[in-house]
Amino acid sequence: MTGEWSEQRLDGLPLWTLVRASHLVGQDFGQLFARHRLSPVQFGVLAQLAAAPGLTQTELARRVLVRPQSMAELIGGLVERGLLVREGPGGRGRPVPLGLTDDGLALLRAAERDVVEFNSPGALGLTAAEAGQLNALLHRVIATRRPGA
Amino acid sequence: MTGEWSEQRLDGLPLWTLVRASHLVGQDFGQLFARHRLSPVQFGVLAQLAAAPGLTQTELARRVLVRPQSMAELIGGLVERGLLVREGPGGRGRPVPLGLTDDGLALLRAAERDVVEFNSPGALGLTAAEAGQLNALLHRVIATRRPGA
DNA sequence: GCGCCACTATCAGGATCCTGATAGCGTCGG
DNA sequence: CCGACGCTATCAGGATCCTGATAGTGGCGC
């Protein structure tokens, strides 16, 4: 059981394979979003904000899985580019609702087109049915790991 | 087609789901490996080295998907802890073969036990058959994205 | 033999995200 | 009324990995 080590001992573990695959895919996502001068996380912020306008900074952080501290600088860049607006006075301890501008929505749609193309079954090396299966299984894994939402 | 934005527009995209799932899983992997005072990448290095002793720093970097520059510090830590040995004189432009010590192999096995447990179908919320399917599909995605190896 | 070249390791600086600590706001019980 | 508490935003410092540039090694053709 604990004989010689072989590389294949890890190949049968779905979560380890998942992380390796994501590492690869994540790099490509980075390049894809860079064409729109966005980071993957920034794209996530835009998407969340389009679905639920008026989200606060911390709430947004929860949804894209980063810490609230990381949001400040990230959002600052988007605001400077006119893609987001801070609504309300803001300030040290006051919640700041964020909103998407028209430019922000337009950029989101443009980036989404690329993302959809990038996810086409052909680009994945899978059939449409297999891509659907993969997606469903991944959602199950997420649901198991995040009982809340 | 470009109507109102809804959050579900991204939910059907396998690669985007993949990255989100990996984000979650990656955090748990980090905690898991932290119990052995390892980072996920360091575990990868140990595993690669167990499978193929004598690998050079750059070759190792290629296999664990980081840049050679990131390896120096990472390996330094492992050498200081006596898990790895640099074989040969080394120096500025000379290839430095790395090797695993007995302690390194022992730690690798201990960590692997945790990883296997973490990957049990129960922990994934999947049946064994589904876990196998997921793993196979992910390997297909990796293969498509890395025609070489 | 000698310069060119592919490769390796390393230095320097930057981007991103983290943990821990600090400060302002609003509510709710006493 | 007011102090405790929970929440929000922010500051400070650190970890990790990146790109770009520098330096040493060994092989190859001329």
Residue B42, domain CATH: 1.10.10.10
Q: Is there a domain that residue B128 lies in?
A: no
| Residue B109: other Cβ atoms inside 10 A | 14
| CA atoms of A137 and B134, how far apart (whole Å) | 7
Q: Is there a domain that residue A76 lies in?
A: yes
Report pTM: 0.92
Average pLDDT over residues A20-31: 96
Question: CB-based contact (8 Å) between B127 and chain A?
Answer: no
Contact B14/A143, CB-based, under 8 Å? no
Render pLDDT for A43-78 as a digit per residue (tens, 0 to 9).
999 999 999 999 999 999 999 999 999 999 999 999
Counting the structural domains of chain B, the total is 1
Nearest to A25 among B18, B115, B126 (CB): B18
Render pLDDT for A103-115 as a digit per residue (tens, 0 to 9).
999 999 999 999 9
Indicate the pLDDT class of residue A9, thresholds 50, 70 and 90: confident
CA triplet B123, B124, B126: central angle to 5 degrees? 115
Contacts of A22 (CB under 8 A, 6+ apart): B18, B19, B21, B22, B23, B26
Instruction: State how far Cα B123 lies from the chain centre.
Output: 19
Q: Is there a domain that residue B50 lies in?
A: yes
What pLDDT is recorded for position B1? 56
Q: Is there a domain that residue A91 lies in?
A: yes
Instruction: State how far Cα A130 lies from the chain centre.
Output: 22
Q: Exposed (0-12), middle (13-18) or buried (19+): which is B26, by Cβ within 10 Å? A: middle
Q: Domain range spanning residue A60?
A: 28-118
What ipTM does this complex have?
0.92
Contact B17/A135, CB-based, under 8 Å? yes
Render pLDDT for B42-97 as a digit per residue (tens, 0 to 9).
999 999 999 999 999 999 999 999 999 999 999 999 999 999 999 877 667 789 99
Query: Is a pLDDT exceeding 80 seen at residue A6?
Result: no
The gap between B20 CA and C24 C1' (Å) is: 34
